[in-house]
Amino acid sequence: MKRKITLKQIARELDVSISTVSKALKNSKEISADTIQKVQAFAKLYNYRPNNIALSLKNRKTNTIGIIIPEIVHHFFSKVIRGVELVANKRGYNVIIGLSNESFSKEVINMEMLANGSIDGFILSMSKETLLQQDYHHYNETMNQGMPIVMFDRVVSDIKCDKVIVDDFNGAKNAVQKLISNQCNHIALITTKDYVSVGRLRTQGYLEALEENKITPQAELILKMDDTLDYEVHLEALEAEIEQLFKAHKNIDGVFAVNELYALSAMKVARRLGLNVPDDIQVIGFTDGVLSKHSTPSLTTVSQHAQLMGERAADLLIDKIETDFDTEEEQFQTVVINTELVERESTK
């Protein structure tokens, strides 16, 4: 854990009173613009956090882990949380959860709030907006203040921290290979636009499987959905686009979808068009959620072992929290969780 600067140190360095520093940090009208600028620049440089009480709390261990996830109505994230909880409880830690709702500013607010003395470290998956804006200052500031972060699933290489990721590339490749081995020759891909890294990797896996089998990828068989839309709007657009795809390419005999919802929608549209799954079209979805098991036919999926991801993330974080970096060099690792193809009725 790195040392944190105090009000007193800032005051000494700039040769002003502690009260002046405190007021300058709060933009008080009693203080000259020049001094305010000087103090704030210095405070920023040394990562001073303006909350005194929180600061004193921060030096205390809370034995609590903060989880920040993009959304709550999502089976994958629920399972990750269950995994974190399992390990955290075993190792004497509690867990609290904040939601970003896929918003950059909500992510920042939640992290600032929890970092103020409530927790010892973060386990988080980035919001779509953060990925789009590529603004990672809040992660780096948090870590600079000595609070470790473990990222899972949605990660970027620019951030130096421990990470737990799914082998999205090979998961997708194996799924498409399965369709090819099952005699599919015209395999459609239903994916998201490219800004979320996992979507991109799954698309690459799809292409790689085709190429290895000397099947030329056809751009018109790849459907890229904009999933930043409102859920209901998105669902409607999704079904309309899949219907158009199936009608325009009657030879499609396999579908690989990057998530469960897209796979189920493909099955629904197929049924509506009088096509039998798996006889006419075989379907595989990434992400093994609750719907896959209960749908008719049940869906063959690429399981991400979400609970295991949570368990590994919790172990990495607690190891970091409990290490004294005054004596040890800090190192980061990326744990890759292998996927598993869960075969059900939607493939032969």
Is residue 335 at the binding interface for a second copy, with CB under 8 A as the rule? no
- Please say whether the beta carbons of 181 and 215 come within 8 A: no
Query: Site for a second copy (CB under 8 A): which residue of 40, 78, 145, 182?
Result: 78
Q: Could you give the CA distance from residue 348 to residue 171 in angstroms, rounded to a whole number?
A: 19
Are the beta carbons of 179 and 347 closer than 8 angstroms? yes
Regarding 227 and contact with a second copy (CB under 8 A), the answer is no
Instruction: Check binding of 291 to a second copy (CB under 8 A).
Output: yes
Could you say whether residue 56 binds a second copy (CB under 8 A)?
A: yes
Q: DSSP state, 60?
A: S
> Which residue, 7 or 172, is less far from a second copy as judged by CB?
7
CB of 262 to a second copy, least distance (A): 13
Q: Does 96 bind a second copy (CB under 8 A)?
A: yes
Minimum distance of a second copy from residue 110's CB (angstroms): 7
Tokens of 269: 């549209």
CB of 114 to a second copy, least distance (A): 7
Subset of residues 153 to 212 that bind a second copy, contact rule: CB under 8 A? none
Among positions 113, 273, 336, 341, the unique one binding a second copy when judged by CB under 8 A? 113
What span, in angstroms and rounded, lies between the C-alpha atoms of 153 and 273?
35
**Binding region for a second copy (CB under 8 A) out of 78-86, 162-170, 207-215, 277-285:** 78-86
Q: Among 22, 40, 64, 140, which residue interacts with a second copy (rule: CB under 8 A)?
A: 64
Shortest Å distance, C-beta 85 to a second copy: 7
Q: Is 118 an interacting residue with respect to a second copy (CB under 8 A)?
A: yes
Q: Please, what is the minimum distance in Å from the beta carbon of residue 155 to a second copy?
A: 22
Indicate whether 282 belongs to the interface with a second copy (CB under 8 A).
no
Write phi, then psi, for 238 (nearest 5 degrees).
Answer: -60, -50
**CA-CA-CA-CA dihedral for 259, 260, 262, 266, to nearest 10:** 140
Taking contact as CB under 8 A, which single stretch among the options 17-25, 162-170, 220-228, 292-300 is the one that binds a second copy?
292-300
98 binds a second copy (CB under 8 A): yes
How many other C-beta atoms are found inside a 10 Å radius of the C-beta of residue 126?
26
- Looking at 33, 41, 45, 72, which residue binds a second copy (CB under 8 A)? 72
Q: Is 232 in the site for a second copy (CB under 8 A)?
A: no
Task: Please report how close the Cβ of residue 96 comes to a second copy at its closest, in angstroms.
Answer: 5
DSSP-derived secondary structure for 245-302:
HHHH-TT--EEEESSHHHHHHHHHHHHHTT--TTTT-EEEEES--HHHHHSSSPPEEE
Does 95 sit near a second copy (CB under 8 A)? yes
Closest CA to 306 of 337, 327, 347, 275: 337
What is the distance between the alpha carbons of residues 318 and 295, in angstroms, rounded to a whole number? 38
What are φ and ψ of residue 111, in 5° steps?
A: -70, -40
264 binds a second copy per the rule CB under 8 A: yes
**C-alpha–C-alpha distance, residues 123 and 211, integer Å:** 37
Confirm if 246 and 272 have CB atoms less than 8 A apart: no
Dihedral sign, CA of 42, 47, 48, 50?
positive
Q: How many Cα atoms within 13 Å fall on the side-chain side of residue 84?
A: 30
Cα(68)–Cα(251) distance, rounded to whole angstroms?
A: 43
The answer to whether residue 230 forms part of the interface with a second copy (CB under 8 A) is no
Binding of a second copy at residue 97 (CB under 8 A)?
A: yes
Residues that bind a second copy (CB under 8 A): 53-54, 56-57, 60, 62, 64, 72-73, 75, 78-79, 81-82, 85, 89, 94-99, 101, 106, 109-110, 113-114, 117-118, 264, 290-291, 294-296
